[in-house]
Amino acid sequence: MTNTLDTTIRAITNGAAPGETCTDDLAKGPWEFDATPGYGPGSSMFDVIPTGTPRQGALPAAYQDATQEDLHRRIRAAKDALGDRLVILGHFYQRDEVVAHADFLGDSFQLANAALTKPDAEYIVFCGVHFMAETADILARPEQTVILPNLAAGCSMADMADEDSVEAAWEELTSVYGTEPDADGRAPVIPVTYMNSSAALKAFCGKHGGIVCTSSNAATVLEWAFERGQRVLFFPDQHLGRNTAKAMGVPLEQMPMWNPRKPLGGSSREELMDARVILWHGFCSVHKRFTVDQISAARESHPGVRVIVHPECPMPVVDAADESGSTDYIRRAVADATEPTTFAIGTEINMVNRLAAEYPQHTIFCLDPVICPCSTMYRIHPGYLAWVLEELVAGRVVNEIAVASTIQDNARLALERMLAAKPRN
Which positions lie near ligand SF4, rule CB under 6 A? 93, 129, 155-157, 196, 284-286, 348, 374, 376-377
In the 3-class helix/strand/coil scheme, how is the chain assigned residue by residue? Answer: CCHHHHHHHHHHHCCCCCCCCCCHHHHCCHHHHCCCCCCCCCCCCCCCCCCCCCCCCCCCHHHHCCCHHHHHHHHHHHHHHHHHHEEEEEECCCCHHHHCCCCEEECHHHHHHHHHCCCCCCEEEEECCHHHHHHHHHHCCCCCEEECCCCCCCCCCHHHCCHHHHHHHHHHHHHHHCCCCCCCCCECCEEEEECCCCHHHHHHHHHCCCEEECCCCHHHHHHHHHHHECCEEEECEHHHHHHHHHHCCCCHHHCCEECCCCHHHHCCHHHHHHCCEEEECECCCCHHHCCHHHHHHHHHHCCCCEEEECCCCCHHHHHHCCEECCHHHHHHHHHHCCCCCEEEEECCHHHHHHHHHHCCCCEEEECCCCCCCCCCHHHCCHHHHHHHHHHHHCCCCCCECCCCHHHHHHHHHHHHHHHHCCCCC
Provide the minimum distance between the beta carbon of 401 and ligand SF4 in the complex, in angstroms, as a whole number. 15
Provide the minimum distance between the beta carbon of 381 and ligand SF4 in the complex, in angstroms, as a whole number. 16
Provide the minimum distance between the beta carbon of 132 and ligand SF4 in the complex, in angstroms, as a whole number. 8
Compare residues 368 and 390 and give the one whose CB is closer to ligand SF4.
368
Compare residues 229 and 236 and give the one whose CB is closer to ligand SF4.
236
Provide the minimum distance between the beta carbon of 233 and ligand SF4 in the complex, in angstroms, as a whole number. 19
Provide the minimum distance between the beta carbon of 77 and ligand SF4 in the complex, in angstroms, as a whole number. 30
Provide the minimum distance between the beta carbon of 374 and ligand SF4 in the complex, in angstroms, as a whole number. 3
In the sheet that holds 211-213, the strands lie side by side as 211-213, 190-194, 232-235, 277-280, 257-258
Provide the minimum distance between the beta carbon of 183 and ligand SF4 in the complex, in angstroms, as a whole number. 39
Compare residues 108 and 144 and give the one whose CB is closer to ligand SF4.
108
Provide the minimum distance between the beta carbon of 373 and ligand SF4 in the complex, in angstroms, as a whole number. 9
Provide the minimum distance between the beta carbon of 348 and ligand SF4 in the complex, in angstroms, as a whole number. 5
Compare residues 63 and 194 and give the one whose CB is closer to ligand SF4.
194
Compare residues 196 and 294 and give the one whose CB is closer to ligand SF4.
196
Please report, as a single letter, which amino acid is at residue 221: V
Compare residues 348 and 390 and give the one whose CB is closer to ligand SF4.
348
| Distance, CA of 292 to CA of 368 (rounded, Å) | 11
Q: With contact defined as beta carbons under 8 Å apart, do 30 and 381 qualify?
A: yes
Compare residues 71 and 161 and give the one whose CB is closer to ligand SF4.
161
Compare residues 66 and 112 and give the one whose CB is closer to ligand SF4.
112
| Distance, CA of 279 to CA of 246 (rounded, Å) | 12
Provide the minimum distance between the beta carbon of 95 and ligand SF4 in the complex, in angstroms, as a whole number. 13
Compare residues 157 and 213 and give the one whose CB is closer to ligand SF4.
157
Compare residues 156 and 165 and give the one whose CB is closer to ligand SF4.
156
